[in-house]
Copies of this chain bind each other. A is one copy, B any other.
Amino acid sequence: MDKRPIGIFDSGLGGLTVLKEIRKALPTEDIVYLGDTARVPYGTRSKKTIEKFSLQCAYFLAGKGVKCIVVACNTASSNAIDLIRREIKLPIFDVVSSSIEAIKKNKKGARVGVAATSATINTHVHKILAKKLGINIVMEKACPLFVPLAENGENDGEIAQLVSDKYLKELRGKIDVLVLGCTHYPVLEKAITKSVGSNVFLVNPAIKLAEMLRRYLVDNGLQNPKGGKVDYFVTDISGSFAETAKVFLGKNIDKNVTKTVLG
């Protein structure tokens, strides 16, 4: 038994989609969530800057006495995970590893595509990791406008569809599986499905991550059977904060949101 909270960080509020899955799988765990809302998005920045910001987030969570850290941002996972693992002496879970774990199960020969931010696609990390397992990622597609669309509540409707078609229509008929390689993308699922075709299986890495985390805590006797509290920290609270949080969490964010000095 380990009563310490689980730490989760994301570049902003997209990581709340990961928090949601972890809450479902582990309802009695305490959680500390950090969203770097003062510096979101990470997906258009350089590797060095993503490393710097991500490490600051990880240090923050370590300071909160967490038992493990979940890197809920694909851009941070792709660009900063080696640095974080080197610097932080805690178990680290990340959404890229879990997406690879998720596609492992696909029937042999499935054609896999990845949709993600520019910074994630530039690392080709999904392709590299999948190749080691004999899985062929046949298409990688940067979708730079998906994050602003989701952050502005434009996750449905004509604009979302037009942007989604622009990025992903060319994948139609060419893939069987599509990894949603950004925590913002699950809220655009409807538009994405229309673009790539309803026969394509969409992988949300958060679900597999929650499963891996649960197994780890159980296997190591690190569960907290009596918690369930979430503390939300952000580096900035703008006027549209509550609204945006609701897009990703599917409900109003608890009142206990604290602005950190970070960022």
- Contact surface of A with B, Cβ cutoff 8 Å: 37-39, 44-46, 48-49, 118-119, 122, 144-145, 147-149, 151-152, 154, 158-159, 162-163, 166, 235-240, 263
Identify which of B118, B148, B235 contacts A148 (C-beta below 8 A): B148
Q: Which residue, of A147, A159, A162, A238, has the highest number of chain B Cβ atoms within 10 A?
A: A238
Residues of B within 8 A of A118 (CB): 238-240
* A207 CB to nearest B CB, Å: 28
Contact in complex: B162, A152 (CB < 8 Å): no
Q: Assess A239 versus B148: contact at CB under 8 Å? Given A38-B39, A162-B159.
A: no
A154-B145, A159-B162, A159-B166 as given contacts; A236 in contact with B49, CB under 8 Å: yes
Contact between A239 and B122, CB atoms less than 8 A apart: yes
Whether the Cβ atoms of B49 and A38 lie closer than 8 Å is yes
Nearest-neighbour CB distance to chain B for A261, whole angstroms, equals: 10
Q: How far is the CB of A242 from chain B (nearest CB, A)?
A: 13
CB distance from A238 to the nearest CB of B (A): 5
| A46 to B240 Cα, complex, angstroms | 9
- Contact: A159 with B151, CB < 8 Å? no
Knowing A49-B263, A162-B159, A263-B49, say if A240 contacts B149 (CB, 8 Å). no
Total copies of this chain within the assembly: 2
Residue of B nearest to A157 (CB): B166
Bound CA span A30–B263, Å? 32
Given known contacts A118-B240, A119-B239, what 17 new A-B pairs fall within 8 Å (CB)? Answer: A38-B39, A38-B45, A45-B238, A46-B237, A49-B235, A49-B236, A49-B238, A118-B238, A122-B239, A145-B149, A145-B152, A145-B154, A145-B159, A147-B148, A148-B148, A159-B163, A159-B166
A147 to B145, CA, bound (A): 10
CB < 8 Å: which of B37, B144, B162, B238 contacts A162? B162
- Give chain B nearest CB distance to A52 CB in angstroms: 9
CB distance from A151 to the nearest CB of B (A): 7
Query: Shortest beta-carbon distance, A13 to chain B, in Å?
Result: 11
Contacting residue for A239 out of B37, B46, B240, CB 8 A: B46
